Structure 1
């Protein structure tokens, strides 16, 4: 009996050694993952109520886009009504940006572009839509500003109300111009691709479609990168160093591009539920905007984490106010001017390092 217990104990020793060796191999990997910027950025996104903020932004974005489409297409139908190539390119760019929003002829879109193109922007309906656009667009931009500053642990920016609203209107108009420019570039890129294929004697419609798709996605990537940079740098009034901003918007634009490629699958999952078939498109768009807003805020969390890693102070006034509040807190707890300077300096040094990382 004793020999059997001895043999069992002897047999368990290799298992213990194996478990210990496995733990030694796994723990460094776990620590590396825990310290990775990607995980810390996602933790920042969660700790600042990112999912809740994204849901609110998605709700506002849905109504802002509907109002913007009514006004934008009414103006588009008036200005370039006879330029069918550019008009179709604008529709294609919007359809690629928000899958399921515009009917591309398959009957799956929420909005018929012909109805919008025939709308009257100068009538009563157009005036109501314009007011709705101003209210919803400005509300979305203001909410996006607050959410972004929260990711960077900054309070709401002190601002002149009229000046801030005019800046927001300028950004909204600039985004509309950006869509038109991207549509023009898409037309030019597609025509240039067809010309080059004809020049080298290649008459392959499949190859032309693939190259055209690559050109379109490249243009959309550039548009997303510019829009994200404007959101984080201009709209949010956060002086982010260009090195950190550039890296973040590239990652964010890539994430938005992946969403657009998989957009059909996301919207298809919503429309396949028979319980919500009657409003599946609207619900699918709301889900889509929620994903988009989450990608945007996760991108902001990534940038904020990279800035924190380099101990960069984004707002000197906010930092000075927090440092003064920390000093007042230290004085309140009994440390006067005549007490130990070394100890007090150590406390302030630690507070300064901690605040500079926020």
Structure 2
């Protein structure tokens, strides 16, 4: 385990994972607010049929990005978004198309580099953007499902206990179950990111192991972010920049967790064993290279030159004999 962890850190450092995470953070930061705007635009219409939709969305968002929405200093006010649904929705759609596709592209490049995936045929601009759009939709769908599952369990855990007639005695057990479900959902999200964006040629065991590491790191970040918000409320920097500063740091750490998880999968013992076998097979197929003795090569070269000279001399002699015969015949 220690050896695996050391290999992971070395692999991450050699490929400059922190710089890759910075590029991913830029587009991820730009895409957060358009996605929120688009989500609340959709909820504004859904709320006409389902009045609790807004509250559920706020709960789901705070499960992923704790403390982002609220009425406190530096937080995003829900009422501000509600006052201009149409404009916010249009801007959100345009922002998602730009920043979201940029995030998908940056994350794909970072994961391909971290997994050391062989270079593939580059798509054109339009096919490439269509591929990124499809990947973004699939990743977004998985994210919505995971957030919905964890949000449902955490929101209705008390009601579930009452419905089962167990009371509050098992509340700690249910909280632990909520955390486990959240980790399982995060694990599915990490696996989807790896498979959809990079599609590395790794054993399933290695890929799921990396997804588990990423899920655990993501869950720890969610727990720590709540403590970070509580500890930095009185900080002058947070008061000046609001939740954006904390969100920027959180997204960067999340990006690093994803890339560390990819590095863990790449350096997994099962993945290294597969690469070693492939290297051995490639060596057997190619075979060892054989070099001739330089003296033999030189003698072979001398022999060929001798044969050429002999042929040239023979041809010259035949030509001379033909010329002499003509002269003799003319005299006769």
Classify the TM-score, shorter chain. Answer: 0.7 to 0.9
The reply on whether 1:152 has 2:104 as its aligned counterpart is no
Determine the structure 1 residue equivalent to 2:192: 230
Determine the structure 1 residue equivalent to 2:309: none
Change (3 A) 1:191 1:337: same
The reply on whether 1:300 has 2:262 as its aligned counterpart is yes
46, 49, 68: which one aligns with 2:35: 68
Please give the alpha-carbon distance, in whole angstroms, between the structure 2 residues aligned to 1:224 and 1:195: 23
- Determine if contact 1:86/1:183 at 8 Å carries over to the other structure: no
Please give the alpha-carbon distance, in whole angstroms, between the structure 2 residues aligned to 1:338 and 1:240: 37
Change (3 A) 1:266 1:129: same
- Determine if contact 2:117/2:201 at 8 Å carries over to the other structure: no
> C-alpha displacement at 1:245, in angstroms?
0.9
Question: Residue 238 of structure 1 aligns to a residue in which SS?
Answer: coil
> C-alpha displacement at 1:111, in angstroms?
1.5
Question: Residue 311 of structure 1 aligns to a residue in which SS?
Answer: helix
1:205-263 alpha-carbon deviations (Å, 9 max, x no partner): x965x566445434432332122111111111323321111111012101110111111
45, 56, 75: which one aligns with 2:23: 56
145, 150, 153: which one aligns with 1:181: 145
Alignment length (residue pairs): 285
- Determine if contact 1:190/1:212 at 8 Å carries over to the other structure: no
Please give the alpha-carbon distance, in whole angstroms, between the structure 1 residues aligned to 2:81 and 2:179: 25
> C-alpha displacement at 1:337, in angstroms?
6.2
Cα root mean square deviation, aligned:
3.3
Determine the structure 2 residue equivalent to 1:41: 8
135, 156, 165: which one aligns with 1:200: 165
Q: TM-score of the superposition, structure 1-length normalised?
A: 0.68
76, 82, 107: which one aligns with 1:111: 76
Determine the structure 1 residue equivalent to 2:104: 141
| Structure exhibiting the larger radius of gyration computed from Cα positions | 2
Please give the alpha-carbon distance, in whole angstroms, between the structure 2 residues aligned to 1:152 and 1:173: 23
1:25-52 alpha-carbon deviations (Å, 9 max, x no partner): xxxxxxx95xx00111011111111112
- Determine if contact 1:141/1:168 at 8 Å carries over to the other structure: yes
Please give the alpha-carbon distance, in whole angstroms, between the structure 1 residues aligned to 2:241 and 2:119: 36
Please give the alpha-carbon distance, in whole angstroms, between the structure 1 residues aligned to 2:258 and 2:27: 15
1:75-97 alpha-carbon deviations (Å, 9 max, x no partner): 12213444244432232121121
Please give the alpha-carbon distance, in whole angstroms, between the structure 1 residues aligned to 2:178 and 2:61: 11
Determine the structure 2 residue equivalent to 1:171: 135
Question: Residue 240 of structure 1 aligns to a residue in which SS?
Answer: coil
Change (3 A) 1:119 1:312: farther
Please give the alpha-carbon distance, in whole angstroms, between the structure 2 residues aligned to 1:68 and 1:190: 23
Q: TM-score of the superposition, structure 2-length normalised?
A: 0.73
Determine the structure 1 residue equivalent to 2:183: 221
Question: Residue 274 of structure 2 aligns to a residue in which SS?
Answer: coil
Please give the alpha-carbon distance, in whole angstroms, between the structure 2 residues aligned to 1:300 and 1:277: 35
Question: Residue 164 of structure 1 aligns to a residue in which SS?
Answer: helix
Please give the alpha-carbon distance, in whole angstroms, between the structure 1 residues aligned to 2:203 and 2:83: 45
Question: Residue 100 of structure 1 aligns to a residue in which SS?
Answer: coil
The reply on whether 1:261 has 2:228 as its aligned counterpart is no
Deviates more, 1:167-176 or 1:220-229: 167-176
